[in-house]
A and B are shown apart, each in its own frame.
Chain A
């Protein structure tokens, strides 16, 4: 009622007494007050850091923390950096394999806990177990992996190998990237699992019943009904995880520190190491800026080429 009354009053006020400021305030006052704090936070914590990184990338800021602009020197240095080729390759391997594991595991778990296991309580328990690493601090989670891969004969992996008369191995040195992908892939799967589970649950039950009546095989139900129905969540999770993985390095830092040598050093970690280990803040920012550009290109590809922009258009069903 109140809204109707207010709406009725507006044209009258406009006609009788044109007050542009008051009108502007009336129109934008409340949204400004409500959105103001959040806009401020976004500016301070999201936009400002990006702007700072862009500026920093064109300086030679080192441990003295002085803003000395040096043009494109950091980017020229990057072009001749002997490590960067291997690091970029590592990034592609790490992001590609982890993403594949994330999505595959996430979807498998969602199918298991919503389609194959029909009892909600059992599905819930399984999903909760998979969520546990997500809610534990990264340091604790990685510590468990470090114990698992411990090179001594007391490590979990080596104890298991001993059962089959296999010698102890130092997995983190022999297969560092596999270890990093496993640690990241398993924890990342829970995100996709939750989104895919809810998407599968929202598929009308009639479709499954009709498929069964028509004698459709399980494989056919999964690939012809479920996967097409979760196409958009699949796309969203893939993009989201891709962007997260490009910029994530904390698990690698804790697990292998990018080593041995630079075998698990990825772009984001290299940026961190350059800035906070070698105190080359300018160069570290330039590496981070390249990473931002790569992320933007990936987003664009998903948006335009895979048609993700259609996802936010209004539904055509109605």
Chain B
């Protein structure tokens, strides 16, 4: 159980995240929606502690994560894997090494310096890649891959962390529709099969509706909606996306899902 209590982050005078209180159960798949600058990205980085909170608590199974430092903080980051919009792989390393980087928290310093991985780590990494259909490019350099492939490598890296929670920050915003579907399916799969909690920011409403049973809407750093996709009425959407929601919210325009026929054509 992950609990956020009055979580706040200020940048100067601006409250990027403003007294957010949430409770997310183990194994949930939660979508976070909202306009750019609503604080979705900051919220995820706060949970992984890439950004330090200004106020408030992050409690996981009884421990206040917001107060962790040093080795405990790194242990927490290892348990909450992060997926980024720009993939954030190390370009000049090969795919396999990028995936094995998911275990860096556990690897002692001498082995880190020598870049020496055990056969077990190698086997786990190729398994994770295989699961995402990426085993055949394991020895390629990360920057030789397409965006969709890189994002799947990033998910394999996340799996290597054996995380409790996966935080995905706009995982499909830089991808074409087919790759977006592959990546969202992969996230849904690790949520369902491994019971990993998935918290993902999404900029497309229909993706959130399709993959998440719970949706959190953010506006100006605050949570303005928390509930099932069915509860996202026009009125609620106006709260999340602002007054002009009816103009900007033609879902077909922002859609990342493909019609079934198009998918069949691509597959065949």
Decide if A and B are genuine partners.
no
- Give the A-binding residues of B (Cβ under 8 A): none
Binding site for B on A (CB under 8 A): none
